[in-house]
Amino acid sequence: MIDFSHPDILDCIERALEEDIGPGDVTSQVCVPEDRAAHGSFVARERQIVAGTELLPVLYQMRGVKDLQIRKHSGACVDDREIIATVRGPARTLLECERVALNFLQRLSGIATLARQFADRVAGTNCRVLDTRKTTPGLRRLEKMAAAAGGITNHRMGLYDAVLIKNNHIAAAGGVRNAIERVRASGLEIEVEVRTRAELEEALAAGATHVLLDNLTPGEAAQEVRWIAGRAKVELSGGIDLESVRAYAETGADFVSSGAITHSARATDISFRLELE
């Protein structure tokens, strides 16, 4: 599971707190006595897969609160009204952290919940669901953690950790074979996106071990998978959603990818209930 002490994540939390609190929560400062203590509970308001609860201790410790208990870790399925986590501390601090904590939990749990739905739809096939780089700027590490917590497989984290030759790379390199030959020295597995049978034949002849077939119907994809006949791993992409993912998985492809898992997930409903000590 993800390292929540990673500098990228710490920076993300710090910026989120600064964005919301700024020089101070003026409402809590004028409404709530400084010495008032309270405890709060994060409560699911619908059935969901939670993600990001491990952020909460880090977030609250940045504001001086250390008394936090995680009851449901990332990847857990919770029902309506189940308590996800509890926290105790100065009432003012709990109030000023409330929205930032909920924003993280609701966004990440939404991704995990949608990811689990995708994973469930392909159950029983030999096909795995991949996420993509279509993430919220600055939140990629967290959003991919949430996708994995939902049960799918993370694809590359960024442009730096895997070779994926796409159509614009092919155009810039002067063709499929030229592109593959130029990246072969990297020693990394080569994945190449192909749009036609001619490009597919060229990619396989040049030694591609992983091909990405984009914007095909399930029937067209099944035909190409049969023709490839195991000579390369096959990934399918392009408009794949919950309604169609099963049909694509049943083509015999090794992977299907969907940007919707991170760019179109609906935030789940989670509330924060505060009570005085």
Q: Kindly report the CATH number assigned to the domain that includes residue 88.
A: 3.90.1170.20
b/e sequence 177-202, b meaning 16+ C-beta within 10 Å: bebbeebeeeeeebbbbbeeeebbeb
Tokens 């060229």 found at: 202
For residue 47, the model assigns a pLDDT of 98
For residue 162, the model assigns a pLDDT of 85
- The answer to the question of residue 1 being in a domain is no
For residue 1, the model assigns a pLDDT of 57
Q: What is the pLDDT of residues 66-125, one digit of tens each?
A: 999 999 999 999 999 999 999 999 999 999 999 999 999 999 999 999 999 999 999 999
Question: Mean pLDDT in each 10-residue stretch from start to end of the chain (277 residues)?
Answer: 84 97 96 97 98 97 97 98 98 98 98 98 97 96 97 93 90 90 80 92 92 96 96 96 98 98 98 96
In whole angstroms, give the CA distance from residue 84 to residue 268.
13
Order the strands of the 163-165 sheet from edge to edge.
128-130, 255-257, 233-237, 210-214, 190-194, 163-165
Given 63, 88, 128, 134, the catalytic residue: 134
Q: Tell whether 149 and 175 lie within a shared domain.
A: yes
Beta strands 77-78 and 48-49 are antiparallel
Q: Tell whether 134 and 87 lie within a shared domain.
A: no
Angle at 13 between CA 8 and CA 17, to 5 degrees: 150
Q: Tell whether 138 and 156 lie within a shared domain.
A: yes
Q: Tell whether 127 and 113 lie within a shared domain.
A: no
Average pLDDT of the chain?
A: 95
CB 237 within 8 A of CB 257: yes
Q: Tell whether 226 and 111 lie within a shared domain.
A: no
User: Which residues in 32-110 belong to E strands, given as ranges?
Assistant: 37-44, 48-49, 67-70, 77-78, 83-90
Given 191, 193, 199, 224, the catalytic residue: 193
Domain count within the chain: 2
| Residue 214 annotated to the active site | yes
Checking 193-199 for CB contacts under 8 A at 24+ apart, the result is 193/164, 193/165, 193/166, 193/167, 195/167, 197/224, 197/227, 199/170
Q: Tell whether 108 and 143 lie within a shared domain.
A: no
Given 166, 177, 195, 233, the catalytic residue: 166
Given 20, 82, 120, 214, the catalytic residue: 214
Q: Tell whether 145 and 270 lie within a shared domain.
A: no
| Residue 66 annotated to the active site | no
For residue 207, the model assigns a pLDDT of 87
Q: Tell whether 208 and 169 lie within a shared domain.
A: yes
| Residue 193 annotated to the active site | yes
| Residue 275 annotated to the active site | no
Q: Tell whether 163 and 45 lie within a shared domain.
A: no
Q: Tell whether 48 and 83 lie within a shared domain.
A: yes
Q: Would you give the distance in Å from CA 37 to the centre of its chain? A: 36
CB 183 within 8 A of CB 206: no
Q: Which two tokens stand for residue 272?
A: 């924060």
For residue 182, the model assigns a pLDDT of 87
| Residue 231 annotated to the active site | no
Q: Which amino acid is at 142?
A: L
Among left, alpha and beta (phi > 0; psi -120 to 50; other), residue 142 is: alpha
Q: Which amino acid is at 94?
A: L
In whole angstroms, give the CA distance from residue 192 to residue 117.
28
